[in-house]
Amino acid sequence: MELRVSEIFMSIQGEGPNVGRPAVFLRLNGCNLRCMWCDTKYALSGGKRMTEEAVLEQIKRYPCDRLVITGGEPLLQQDDLTPLLKKLKNYRIEVETNGSIPLKIGQYIEQINCSPKLKNSGNRAYEPAIRPSKKTIYKFVVKESADLEDIRRFIKTNRIPRESVYLMPEGTKADTLLRRSKWIIEVCKKEGYNFSPRLHILLYGSQRKK
């Protein structure tokens, strides 16, 4: 089996509860959604076909036991991911997903970072396929205050605990992220959500890793 891979690199986790932790990133190509503000458009299609052995070799080059599988939408390739995951038993594995596809590889995953795409993404509404669990967190991109009602409605309808909710500012430039972060933090303080920076964007922008 082969995977369609965009890139494999080591950096720090830029979002969610493990922000700042060193991690190896396996970015897979292909996505079933098209977000207006997508910051990894280069991963929407195409990609280099790599065997499981080649991917494993690249991952193990890095001195790090945390692996973040991201995209695109990595769950589009989860059947082909399974043989690889079976050989990564000593890794702490996170998966980034938009939550529109049922998870079949949960037994290999330590943390599910689900980022449902709501109205501000430009996608049609969809029923979440990733349900709340002890290892699932929900990240929401916030551009303006009008987005908050959509988020409130979503977490109420799907019975998502507030402590599992992370709000993140939308933007691909540092000044935009910082400006939005200030008022989003106040919302988190008031409503009991978590705030997540987009540290990788602040540090490196939205350009593809070289």
Q: Where are the alpha helices (DSSP H) in 158-197?
A: 174-191
CATH number, residue 187: 3.20.20.70
**Average pLDDT of the segment spanning 192-201:** 91
Q: Looking at the 3D structure of the chain, how many domains does it have?
A: 1
**C-alpha to C-alpha distances, 169 to 15, 60, 79, 190, nearest whole angstrom:** 11, 33, 32, 17
pTM for this predicted structure: 0.93
The rounded distance, in Å, linking the Cα atoms of 120 and 143 is 8
Q: Is the residue at 41 inside a domain?
A: yes
Domain containing residue 146: 2-204
Q: Is the residue at 50 inside a domain?
A: yes
Asked if residue 38 has pLDDT above 60, the reply is yes
Asked if residue 148 has pLDDT above 80, the reply is yes
Burial of 198 (0-12, 13-18, 19+ CB in 10 A): buried
Q: Is the residue at 209 inside a domain?
A: no
Mean pLDDT of the chain: 93
Q: Is the residue at 86 inside a domain?
A: yes
Q: Is the residue at 210 inside a domain?
A: no
For position 50, what pLDDT does the model report?
97
Asked if residue 22 has pLDDT above 60, the reply is yes
- pLDDT-derived band at 207 (thresholds 50, 70, 90) equals low
Q: Is the residue at 40 inside a domain?
A: yes
